[in-house]
Amino acid sequence: KLANTDPLSGLPNRRLLMETLRQVWRGRGEVHDPPVAVMMLDIDYFKAINDDHGHSVGDQVILRLADHLHTALRGSDLAARIGGEEFAICLPESEQAVDIAWRLCRQIAETPMEIEGNTIRCTVSLGVAIQSPEDEGPDALLARADRALYQAKTQGRNRVVADEAGA
């Protein structure tokens, strides 16, 4: 279990995310199968939270965000912590991935966190990619979501950008 779990958040890690994505990918194949979507989520200005309030507060922000993802997503979705302040979400059956991403973005921005006597307001940037026939595998899908995340951050953060396949 430890090999597949992020020790701080308790969420699955990158390894389990990729394993799950590969399984979901192999299970697809019929034209009428719903596409799999991937979201990449990054806490905006996380370094400033750590610098201003300390790493224990930063860790609590990660824990609260992990809890939020756990309750806000469907049971079939998988949220994973894949880096410091970076998360990935696998949505096995979701044409509504962009709507879900915007909902998460708004909910997080509108929910201040009370941590160790501090009111922490944070926002997130999300990149979304929905499986397309051009994707050669889950790595390509994840790369498109990562590219969209980068665009969300360069466009001002606290937003969602969807990577349109073939664009």
Q: DSSP assignment, residue 29?
A: -
Contact 89, 77 (CB under 8 A): yes
Say whether 134 is catalytic.
no
> In degrees to the nearest 10, what's the CA dihedral of 45, 47, 49, 54?
180
Cβ neighbors of 105 (< 8 A, separation 6 or more) are 123, 124, 125, 126, 158, 159, 160
Catalytic residue among 85, 86, 93, 134: 85
Is the backbone of residue 120 left (phi > 0), alpha (psi -120 to 50) or beta? beta
Residues catalogued as catalytic: 85
